[in-house]
Amino acid sequence: MQRHARNDREWEQRPGRSAPDESMRGRLRGLFAPSDAADAVAELIAERGRELEERSAQIRKAVEELEHREERARELHLRVEQILRDGAAELDLRQAELSVRSAELETRETAVEHAEASVEDRRRALGAVELRAAAIERRAEALRLRELELEHRAGELAELARKLDDIGRALDAGVEPPQAREDEHVALVSGDGYELLVRSGPAPAAGDDVQLDDGPYRCVRTTRSPYPGDDRTCAVLERLPPVD
């Protein structure tokens, strides 16, 4: 402040300067006059300067922390981008593998469908073969039973023929056969095969027509019963053709 007052006095005493107004000079001197508050102002300025330095230091520290955080954020961003790139590449690789496996599965499913269709066709063919085999077995069993029946009837006819031959030889020798029964007789029915029936009453004479359950028959001849020790008469019957 004293330096400013001295400068003012030197400025006023410089040659060529006009005298200033006294009131103005007084006001200026009042402004730059030393006062007791100068030390307080200086202390205040110093305190404010210290505060500003502290704030500046805090700001610099905050800026450094912010820069450090920005650097870490950039590093994290780069790491995240790298992870995303690696993840995208891995996902692309897995997608390709899944596509290949999906194609393989579709191929296998098609093969399985064809195999199932083939198995179903074979099962149907096997079922048809089994049905045919069962039918053949039934026919073979029926033929076997028919053969047994025919063998049995052939044996019966052979025995009947033997007995008829014995009767014929006895008649040729003049031996009288025993008296035949009149309450029953035996009928040898000739149709699709031969069948022996026992009927009540006397035997029909040769040339008589006989009505059986399955149609009319005609007695062609009579002879002795084919059963051993049987005294009944046997009538040989032949089926009559149907009448138009």
Q: Per the domain annotation, does 49 fall within a domain? A: no
pLDDT confidence of residue 40: 78
Task: Supply the pLDDT for residue 30.
Answer: 53
Per-residue model confidence (pLDDT) at position 39? 76
Whether 225 and 185 map to the same domain: the answer is yes
| Inside any domain, residue 52 | no
Examine the domain organization and report whether 186 and 166 are in the same domain: no
Give the span between the Cα atoms of 233 and 27, in whole angstroms: 186
Final residue of a structural domain among 134, 153, 177: 177
**Is residue 190 located within the same domain as residue 123?**
no
Q: How many structural domains is the chain composed of? A: 2
| Per-residue pLDDT tens digits for 84-118 | 888 888 888 888 888 888 889 889 889 998 888 88
Q: For 191, phi and psi rounded to 5 degrees?
A: -145, -115
Which pLDDT score, from 0 to 100, does residue 1 have?
46
Average confidence (pLDDT) over 28-40: 58
Predicted pLDDT at 194: 78
Note whether 158 and 70 are same-domain residues.
yes
Domain presence at residue 19 = no
Q: Are residues 69 and 166 in the same domain?
A: yes
Q: How far apart are CA 22 and CA 80, in angstroms?
A: 78
User: 124, 155, 177 — which closes off a domain?
Assistant: 177
Residue 200 in contact with residue 233, Cβ under 8 Å? Answer: no
pLDDT category, 2, cuts 50, 70, 90? very low
What's the whole-model pTM score?
A: 0.31
Q: With respect to residue 171, please indicate whether it lies within any of the assigned structural domains.
A: yes
- Is pLDDT at 128 greater than 80 in this prediction? yes
Same domain, 91 and 162: yes
Domain that holds residue 147: 61-177
Long-range CB contacts (< 8 A, 24+ apart) of 109-114? none
* 43 within a domain of the structure (yes/no): no
Q: Are 101 and 164 contained in the same domain?
A: yes
Quote the pLDDT of residue 93: 87
Residues 88 and 167 in one domain: yes
Condensed to tens digits (0 to 9), the pLDDT of residues 196-229 reads 888 888 889 888 998 888 888 899 988 888 887 7
- Quick one: 105 and 159 in the same domain? yes
Count CB-CB contacts under 10 A for residue 125: 10
pLDDT band, residue 193 (cuts 50/70/90): confident
Distance CA 32, CA 46 (A): 20
pLDDT level of residue 142 (50, 70, 90 thresholds): confident
39 assigned to some structural domain = no
Task: Specify whether 100 is located in the same domain as 203.
Answer: no
pLDDT of the residue at 11: 46
Task: Grade residue 241 by pLDDT with cuts at 50, 70 and 90.
Answer: confident
Q: Evaluate whether residue 53 is within a structural domain.
A: no
Between these two residues, 233 and 16, which has the higher pLDDT value? 233
Pair (157, 190) in one structural domain: no
Domain's final residue, options 124, 156, 177: 177
Closest by CA to 187, choosing from 237, 229, 224, is 237
**pLDDT per residue as tens digits for the range 37-74:** 677 778 888 888 888 888 888 998 999 999 989 999 99
Neighbour-count burial of 141, counting CB atoms closer than 10 A to its CB (0-12 exposed, 13-18 middle, 19+ buried): exposed
228 and 124 within one domain: no
In a domain, 137, yes or no: yes
Among 48-62, 138-152, 157-171, name the most confident range.
48-62
